[in-house]
Structure 1
Amino acid sequence: MRPLVWMRTDLRTHDNPALHHACKASSRGVVAVFTICPKQWLSHDMAPIKAAFILRNLKDLSETLAKKNIALKIIETPTFATVPKLLKKLANEHECDALYFNREYEVNEQERDEEVTKVFESAGISIHAFTDQCVFAPGEVLTGKGDPYTVFTPFKKSWCAAVDEDRDRIELLSAPRKLAEMVSTPDDIPASIKGFSIADPREDLWHAGEKHAISRLNAFIENRLRSYKDARDVPAINGTSTISPYLASGVVSLRTCVHAAVQANNGKLDTGNIGATTWISELVWREFYKHILFHFPRVCKHRAFKVETERLRWNDNNEHFAAWCEGRTGFPIVDAAMRQLVQTGWMHNRLRMIVAMFLSKNLFLDWRLGERFFMRHLIDGDLAPNNGGWQWSASTGTDAAPYFRIFNTVTQSKKFDPDGSFIRKFVPELKDVDNDAIHDPSTLPELARANLDYPQPIVDLKQTRERAIEAFRELK
């Protein structure tokens, strides 16, 4: 057998089911391929910084595969529509008689994979698809009635019980051995993709390659996992894993993260060190949202999970949206967070909740505007967790924040950035403001305010909170 391995959101050799099993089954070598679809990626709002990150990881992956005598081929075509015939052409050219890939769960990706499967099977080429993005494939963790879970806590309880029952689920697959010969020659990885130009891809922050991903994971596990529960909420310190860009592009697997955390927690999943169990919960949230996306595909189609919230009459205020995007709302923690996103391609998780709730509740703008802006700027843009997080904050999603639970932006700022360190880093015009006033410079005396090059708050938090609550009440 000579398998063709279709690499997608799994840009690694370690713990890669499709690659591992293809190499085990091979008797005549293996060919790998990655498809670049610029027009499709643009329609999915992929960020230029993420596209650049993918290219850097492809370069690293190609070099790693070549050392194992596996050539990585590149197919560039505008959309998914032409992928089936181009993959088939490549398979024919290299006399491949099997196609191996890891499953993806978004609607367009599933439709593409169904079409690829039809084309290949009609030509007598076998298909081998594997679960990779999740520990359990959607449909494997269900309620007692056989329905998908729509509340996280019981999902997590069932998930943990299922892992405890079958610990092999979080065992890791080895990287493939070096094969006897290389079937083809690796293609050059493009330096850029049309439509995804970026001045600074922030390579200083986001080193490419699975070695860097594993190194980052290990550093977090060894140095910060135990203190994660409290440290994760403080944006001024390095308290989170920052592994999300590598998960979103599959440079490291979810299983690898769970496996590492469980090992560090003496083999325990949901008891033991609270830092470890909190981080494991965050990983399970990621899987929960993948399952939601699969079982309720409307969330892939710009629809609210809670259908009744489609009746909300969101504000139409371009000036407020622009102020939010550009980090000039007059609320320093919001502005610092939005500038962090635009400047680095990443935003701290506590801040994601703060800015999402501010947009959807205080500005009362459609959460989909924020969801799209995030996707267009995040290096870790991933539809399921991004959509899930936005719908949680907007109270339109599954197991979302109750509509009356609205973060007070200033209170959140005082609690999680008490000395204003984070604000000063990204809003330097406030660097000389004292620790009390930095969370709400509008409280400064008029003369002091006049000397600041910083806007007044664009909304009143109390009034807008009441207005949002009333809008949700009217749905009942």
Structure 2
Amino acid sequence: MTVNLMWFRNDLRIHDNIALYAACKKKEANVLSIFIATPQKWKKNFMSFKKSEYIYKNLLMLQKNIMKIGIPLYFYESKNSFTSVKFLINFCQKNKVNSIFYNDQYETNEIKRDFLTKKMLEKENISVRTFHDATLISPDKIYKKNGQSYNNFSFFKKNIIKKIQRKLPQSFPVPDIRPFLKIKTYAIKFSYPRENIDENLFPIGEHSALNKLSFFIDKQINKYELEHNFPNVNCTSFLSASLSIGILSSRQCIKLLLKKKIYKNKININECKWLNELIWREFYKYILVKYPTLIQCKSKYNLENKITWNNNKKNLIAWKEGRTGYPIVDAGMRQLNELGWMHNRIRMITASFLVKDLLINWREGEKYFISKLIDGDTAINNGNWRWIASIGYGSNPYFRIFNPIYQAKKFDKEGYFVKKYIPELRMVPNLYIFNPHLWSQKIGKKINYPFPIVDHEKTKKNVITVFKLAKLLSLKENNLK
């Protein structure tokens, strides 16, 4: 009897899972599945405790769902990548596995692990079948006319949209129920710390995620263009956590969007703002594949190494704890610390403040975000921080600096978002909410809220000077090589 093994990684779903579908294609095959937890690697990568809880609960749900189609889900906790591979070999030998199936991952360490896995398994005459599943289109199929890789988002987006319009990526149904129904339940236990999550915002399981996707497209997406930048308006999809661990696929998102909206002529594929956000996700994963050194502490033109960063630990702690004296920044950081999630506009404002106001190395922010985010994703977190720090591909120009007071007045005019996360400012009138100390001085009453730790206008001039000099030094160095 043929025995196939499905190795779940960042794809915790049975709907539209290419590797799982392929593993189940032969009806007469016995199919097993496994998930290998790697707490030491998670710790090294600063994975958040909330994401650990989210993975754990979704694994339990996956185990229930996959049992219904006659497939057991085994669980193993490994010390490192090498012990993962050794365990897989022993598992395959013990269970007489003929072929192992899994979807590709694109992070550098995962690529090395998979190379080692394939090499060692094939030595044991165990077939290894891998699939592209993480993005709409395989990175190897996206390139310029001259065959080179993209480093500009706009051109990349045009290419993606052309391909989507020409032919939608294929989706795969849930595999048929297997004939082998004598299934045991295998215990799933994490040694990695877990932290409670808000399941109303981040419901568990792919069924809930699909319902959330459908509701967003039916009820909210028509308002997305106008309202998605306002943190107090519930107009975001809240699907980033589901996408980050593969409870949803990007194909499911795009196909449901086009099915419900394009078909009814209610949306233009070239103008859809939410589609634009999905394609940014695609772009950062593409960049990770094409330019892997960007994840290895290197940057374009070596610009980063020419910047004289400010190593003020006191300011870094104030930023992390939401005590900078800039209400919109502090509210955002407190939202992150409380929910493990932050509104996209606020992510840009808080990140810009760290890099362009405090002049603190963006890698400190990248590390802190990933340590807190329930939707933490290496490629996307790295790409977004490079964008705000003006050192990545398709980045924000270095002289574009978010003014935290102007941004607050524009996107949280009434101060609802600020007052939700900063209770000590709830008594402050809306007119003074972004300059609360002016109000406290006016009425002669102190408030328990810090004064601004920096002057934005002064730091802006200094940052522009620092980045301009760094750019000149970097270009000069590259011209000399």
TM-score above 0.5: yes
Give the Cα–Cα distance (whole angstroms) in 2 for the partners of residues 283 and 72 of structure 1: 30
Give the letter for the 2:191 counterpart.
Answer: K
Contact 2:244 / 2:376 at 8 angstroms: preserved in 1?
yes
Deviates more, 1:280-289 or 1:17-26: 17-26
Matching residue of 1:470: 465
Matching residue of 1:260: 256
Contact 1:60 / 1:209 at 8 angstroms: preserved in 2?
yes
Deviates more, 1:361-370 or 1:433-442: 433-442
Contact 2:316 / 2:360 at 8 angstroms: preserved in 1?
yes
Matching residue of 1:194: 191
Matching residue of 1:173: 172
**Relative to 1, partners in 2 of residues 1:107 and 1:60: Cα closer, same or farther, differing over 3 Å?**
same
Q: Give ranges in structure 2 of 5+ residues lacking alignment.
A: 473-481
User: How many angstroms does 1:386 deviate by?
Assistant: 0.7
Normalising by structure 1, report the TM-score. Answer: 0.96
The within-5 A match list for 1:59-458 is 59-167=60-168, 169=169, 171-182=170-181, 185-190=184-189, 193-198=190-195, 200-267=196-263, 272-273=267-268, 277-446=272-441, 448=443, 450-458=445-453
Matching residue of 2:8: 7
User: How many angstroms does 1:275 deviate by?
Assistant: 10
DSSP 3-state at the match of 1:257: helix
Contact 2:352 / 2:402 at 8 angstroms: preserved in 1?
yes
Q: Give ranges in structure 1 of 5+ residues lacking alignment.
A: none
DSSP 3-state at the match of 1:333: helix
Give the Cα–Cα distance (whole angstroms) in 2 for the partners of residues 443 and 224 of structure 1: 38
Contact 2:67 / 2:183 at 8 angstroms: preserved in 1?
no
Contact 2:21 / 2:173 at 8 angstroms: preserved in 1?
yes
Question: What is the RMSD of the two structures over their aligned residues, measured on CA atoms?
Answer: 1.7
User: How many angstroms does 1:268 deviate by?
Assistant: 9.5
Contact 1:70 / 1:183 at 8 angstroms: preserved in 2?
no
Give the letter for the 2:133 counterpart.
Answer: D
Give the letter for the 1:194 counterpart.
Answer: S
Give the letter for the 2:209 counterpart.
Answer: A
Give the Cα–Cα distance (whole angstroms) in 1 for the partners of residues 122 and 154 of structure 2: 40
Deviations 1:49-108 (CA, angstroms, capped at 9, x unpaired): 001100000000000111111000001111112111101111112111001000000000
Contact 1:81 / 1:112 at 8 angstroms: preserved in 2?
yes
Matching residue of 1:38: 39
DSSP 3-state at the match of 1:213: helix
DSSP 3-state at the match of 1:392: helix
DSSP 3-state at the match of 1:393: helix
Contact 1:306 / 1:397 at 8 angstroms: preserved in 2?
no
**Relative to 1, partners in 2 of residues 1:256 and 1:453: Cα closer, same or farther, differing over 3 Å?**
same
User: How many angstroms does 1:445 deviate by?
Assistant: 4.9
**Relative to 1, partners in 2 of residues 1:334 and 1:449: Cα closer, same or farther, differing over 3 Å?**
farther
DSSP 3-state at the match of 1:252: coil
Give the Cα–Cα distance (whole angstroms) in 1 for the partners of residues 445 and 299 of structure 2: 43
Give the Cα–Cα distance (whole angstroms) in 1 for the partners of residues 303 and 453 of structure 2: 29
Give the Cα–Cα distance (whole angstroms) in 2 for the partners of residues 371 and 264 of structure 1: 36
User: How many angstroms does 1:22 deviate by?
Assistant: 0.7
Contact 1:226 / 1:276 at 8 angstroms: preserved in 2?
no
Give the Cα–Cα distance (whole angstroms) in 1 for the partners of residues 101 and 350 of structure 2: 41
Give the Cα–Cα distance (whole angstroms) in 2 for the partners of residues 89 and 202 of structure 1: 38
DSSP 3-state at the match of 2:234: coil
User: How many angstroms does 1:135 deviate by?
Assistant: 1.1
User: How many angstroms does 1:249 deviate by?
Assistant: 0.6
Give the Cα–Cα distance (whole angstroms) in 2 for the partners of residues 113 and 268 of structure 1: 43
Normalising by structure 2, report the TM-score. Answer: 0.95
Deviates more, 1:244-253 or 1:444-453: 444-453
DSSP 3-state at the match of 2:67: helix
Give the letter for the 2:193 counterpart.
Answer: F
Give the Cα–Cα distance (whole angstroms) in 1 for the partners of residues 297 and 183 of structure 2: 42
Matching residue of 1:22: 23
Deviations 1:378-433 (CA, angstroms, capped at 9, x unpaired): 00000111111111011111111100110100000000011000101000111111
Deviations 1:421-457 (CA, angstroms, capped at 9, x unpaired): 0101000111111112112223325254742110000
DSSP 3-state at the match of 1:376: helix
Contact 1:29 / 1:182 at 8 angstroms: preserved in 2?
no
Contact 1:3 / 1:26 at 8 angstroms: preserved in 2?
no
DSSP 3-state at the match of 2:139: coil
Give the letter for the 2:171 counterpart.
Answer: L
DSSP 3-state at the match of 1:262: helix
**Relative to 1, partners in 2 of residues 1:237 and 1:165: Cα closer, same or farther, differing over 3 Å?**
same
Give the Cα–Cα distance (whole angstroms) in 1 for the partners of residues 270 and 48 of structure 2: 31
Give the Cα–Cα distance (whole angstroms) in 2 for the partners of residues 450 and 256 of structure 1: 54
Contact 1:316 / 1:365 at 8 angstroms: preserved in 2?
yes
Deviations 1:314-365 (CA, angstroms, capped at 9, x unpaired): 1010000000000010000000000000101100000000000000000000
Contact 2:300 / 2:392 at 8 angstroms: preserved in 1?
yes
Give the Cα–Cα distance (whole angstroms) in 2 for the partners of residues 66 and 135 of structure 1: 28
Give the Cα–Cα distance (whole angstroms) in 1 for the partners of residues 467 and 250 of structure 2: 36
User: How many angstroms does 1:310 deviate by?
Assistant: 2.1
Matching residue of 2:58: 57
Give the Cα–Cα distance (whole angstroms) in 1 for the partners of residues 67 and 120 of structure 2: 28
